[in-house]
Amino acid sequence: MDGCIFCGIASGAIPAKVLFQDDHVVAFHDIHPVAPVHVLVIPKRHVASLAEVSPDDREMLGHLMSAVRRVAVETGVAESGFRTVINTGEGAGQSVFHLHIHVLGGRTFPWPP
Ligand code: DGP
């Protein structure tokens, strides 16, 4: 989508520290990390947020979750533990309106957040 930063990263037009990508998803390091491991997983296709997904997106959502596991393994936090976050809507802190999963690791995370 024109003007979407993450569409730009998905297409390669905007540079990012990409961990891996495939036909469906891109995993790249967050520009403002809040943990030693802070990777974002996005679908290549533009979807604004989790509030915008439909039943047709089930396969894409599966790709995202599978990629989250791969991020955890490749960054070495699969065993120590990792936090996944999807901010949905401005009220929840979403600032980029292209669906993304934060994968955070390398430190402890309080609960409730
Ligand atoms: P959220 O607040 O949940 O919408 O998270 C958006 C995240 O995206 C935030 O942690 C910072 C990150 N981010 C924003 N712009 C860029 C960018 O141009 N490159 C990278 N790598 N990350 C970005």
Residue range of the domain that includes 60 = 5-105
H/E run at residue 10: helix 5-11
Query: Cβ(84) to ligand 1 under 6 A?
Result: no
pLDDT digits (tens, 9 = 90+) for 86-107: 999 999 999 999 999 999 999 9
The number of distinct structural domains making up the chain is 1
User: In which order are the strands placed within the sheet that holds 25-29?
Assistant: 18-21, 25-29, 37-43, 101-105, 82-85
pLDDT digits (tens, 9 = 90+) for 43-85: 999 999 999 999 999 999 999 999 999 999 999 999 999 999 9
Is 110 domain-assigned? no
Is 112 domain-assigned? no
Is 19 domain-assigned? yes
Is 77 domain-assigned? yes
Read off the CATH number of the domain in which 60 is found: 3.30.428.10
Q: How far apart are CA 16 and CA 109, in angstroms?
A: 26
Helices (H) and strands (E) in the chain, counts: 2, 5
Q: Against a cut of 0.95, is the pTM above it?
A: yes
Is 111 domain-assigned? no
Which amino acid residue places its CA nearest to atom 3 of ligand 1? Answer: 94
